[in-house]
Amino acid sequence: MVVAATLVGGCSGGEGQEQKRAFSAADAKRIASARPATPGWPPWPQDPIGTSAPDGSEVGNKWKDDDKLANLVAQVWGSVAKAHEWMPDFNAFSRKWGEQTGFITRDEAIDGLGDEAWVLWVGGSGTQVTYHWRRGNLVLEAHVHCYGDCPSDVDAATRAWVDAIDEEPGMLAPDGS
C-alpha cells in the first residue's frame, strides 16, 4: 500500500514530551492487531485475512467478510518530524485512491484525535471511510469499506473503532506501557 522504503527505521523522538512518544516496530505490530470494533454492526471475523510487514516499520492487518472490509496500518517513523512530514503525502495517496475507486464526499483535517488527524469519505461501490492520525512518531490508518449489507452510518462505526484504538489504555503507549 505504502512504499515501505520511505519509512525511516528506529524510534528516536524529539525533545520533551515528544521523546516520551517514541514507538517501535513491536508497538506497530501490537497496535495493528486491534480487531475492528463497530457497535451495532454484525461481528467482524476473529482473525485477519492478511498481515503485511515489509520491513518492520510498517505493519497492517485486514479483516473481511461478505459485506465489509477493514484495514489497519501502523507505521513507525524515525522521528516525530518525519512522521509529521509524511502526513500530507499519506493523505494525498489515499485521496488519489479514493478518486480511482469512487467519488470523494468528505476530505478534511479533524480535531480530537492524536497529534494531527484527517478523514476521507468515498462513495461509489459502497461506502469507504479512512482515518489517518499521528501520535508522536507513529502514523495510523484505519479504513472501512462497506460494500454489502451494513448499517447506514459507516463513518460513526469507523470512528468508534478509531477511538477504541486511540483511547484504549496502553494501546498507543510506546512499548504498551
Task: Provide the CATH number for the domain around residue 56.
Answer: 3.40.1000
Q: How many domains does the chain have?
A: 1
Q: If you compute the radius of gyration of the chain from its CA atoms, what whole number of angstroms results?
A: 15
The secondary structure of residue 89, as a DSSP letter, is H
**What's the grid cell of residue 14?**
524529539
Write the pLDDT tens digit of every residue in 86-128.
999 999 999 999 999 999 999 999 999 999 999 999 998 899 9
pLDDT at 14: 38
If one compares 43 and 20, the residue with the highest pLDDT of the two is 43
Distances (CA, A) of 73 to 30, 86, 144, 169: 11, 14, 12, 19
Residue 112, domain extent? 4-176
DSSP H helical segments within the chain, as ranges? 25-31, 80-101, 154-167
**Quick one: which of 150, 128, 118, 114 has its CA closest to 31?**
114
Q: Is pLDDT above 60 for 1?
A: no
What pLDDT shows up at residue 18?
A: 42
Whether 3 shows a pLDDT value over 80: the answer reads no
pLDDT of residue 7: 38
Whether 54 has a pLDDT exceeding 60, the answer reads no
**Poorest-confidence range of 1-5, 71-75, 118-122?**
1-5
